[in-house]
Amino acid sequence: MTEIGQASGPAAGQALLEDPQDFSPVLGGPLYQLYLRTRVARPPLEFLGRRVIVIALIAWLPLLPLSAIDGNLAAGAVRVPFLYDFDVHVRLLVALPMLIIAEKFAHPRVLAAVQQFVDRGIVGAQDMPRFRTAIHSALRARNSRVAEILLLAFVYSVGQWVWRSHISQETSTWYAISHASSLTLTPAGYWYAFAGVTVFQFLLLRWYLRLLIWFWLLWQVSRLDLQLIPTHPDRAGGLAFLGGSAQAFVPILVAQGAVLAGQIANRVLLEGQSLMSFKVVVGGLVAFFVVFLLAPLAMFTPQLTRAKRQGLREYGTFATHYVRQFERKWIREDAPDGELLGAPDLQSLADLGNSYAVIREMRPVPFGAGLMAQMAAATAAPLLPLTLTMFSLQELADRLIKIVF
């Protein structure tokens, strides 16, 4: 494995990217190389705070003086001044940093998940060449300059159209003056549209691209003849670590939840809409994001189902022979005096029963309901502060006093 710290700068970063044992979906590509050259990162992903501060301030800080110059900082002729636009603050100061933090959070967890296939012997020696080929293929896709250039072009074309026609507010705000059928951007609005919005969209879509690469790698691995163990205590044939690897992307869920919270906050606090009117939208989007991250792991279902079926058949046959011998020795014949208490055969029978129960409880997917609940909670967590809009702080304090006293 590459020794991080023997070298620094772009050369060290490039060397790190070429080692298939160091596969991670968040390294590589033009943006990562830009991080290294501008000294906001050191291989693999050091200087996290520096990146968060620099990128967030580039996207958000110029909006403050520009909106002040326009007279739209806290008041003015527009309906939504800059300081009261909760959507932009949450998007650029909460969601955007979370997308950057997600890189540092995901890197070691995904790296460990890839290595687990080898360390646990799940990928056999006969499939190791195909496994390495799959990793090299994913590395090439991850490091693609063309992909990120096309992504940037997409953000500045389609992304701008989507923002202007579907996301931006239809009323006059600090970033745009509304006319009969169009929006005229203010100076602050130009920075927001071509720096803030595009930076956020690029990082978010880049994450989705990296997730697709990760899913593609898992799909290729799922086509191998995996050496699953039906009696593994994780109830997933030894693949439960894949469910744990999905937790590597929790910051992305938090970022998406924050964006949703910012948009709803504007509707509730600035337009007077009811928070409960968004419950269907919130529930649907939370479910969508959780399914998006966990559903691809169902690609291992055929192998897990086959391993469970084979395990039940083999252990069922073995259990039948063992139980017959046990009954013949201990039930139908007279057991030797003094050997019944603490007899090894009794413990072996219990162990056999436990092993068979583990196989029966084997899940068809490498994750459980607990993980689904955790990821749903992470997505919905940024929405919790909005519940304060349903009652005043005084009402909340009164209720707490009544509960406590």
198-253 pLDDT per residue, tens: 999 999 999 999 999 999 999 999 999 999 999 999 999 999 999 888 999 999 99
Cα gap 65→57, rounded to integer Å: 13
Say what the pLDDT of residue 17 is.
Answer: 38
Q: Supply the pTM of this predicted model.
A: 0.86
Find out whether the peptide bond into 44 is cis, omega within 30 degrees of 0: yes
Of 265, 258, 238, 297, nearest in space to 94 by CA: 258
Task: Compute the average pLDDT of residues 113-124.
Answer: 92
What value does the mean pLDDT take over residues 280-300?
Answer: 94
> Which residue pairs, CB below 8 angstroms and at least 24 apart, start in 118-126?
120/238, 120/241, 121/227, 122/226, 122/227, 122/228, 122/238, 122/239, 123/221, 123/224, 123/226, 123/227, 124/225, 124/227, 126/225
Query: 4-34: per-residue pLDDT in tens?
Result: 333 444 444 443 334 445 688 888 899 999 9
Q: What is the pLDDT of residue 10?
A: 44
Query: What is the tens place of the pLDDT at every residue in 321-376?
Result: 888 887 777 776 665 555 655 567 777 878 888 888 999 999 999 999 999 999 99
Tokens 């072009």: give the residue. Answer: 153
Q: What are the residue ranges spanned by the domains of the chain?
A: 10-306+367-404
How large is the C-alpha radius of gyration of the chain?
Answer: 28
- Which of residues 173 and 351 earns the better pLDDT score? 173
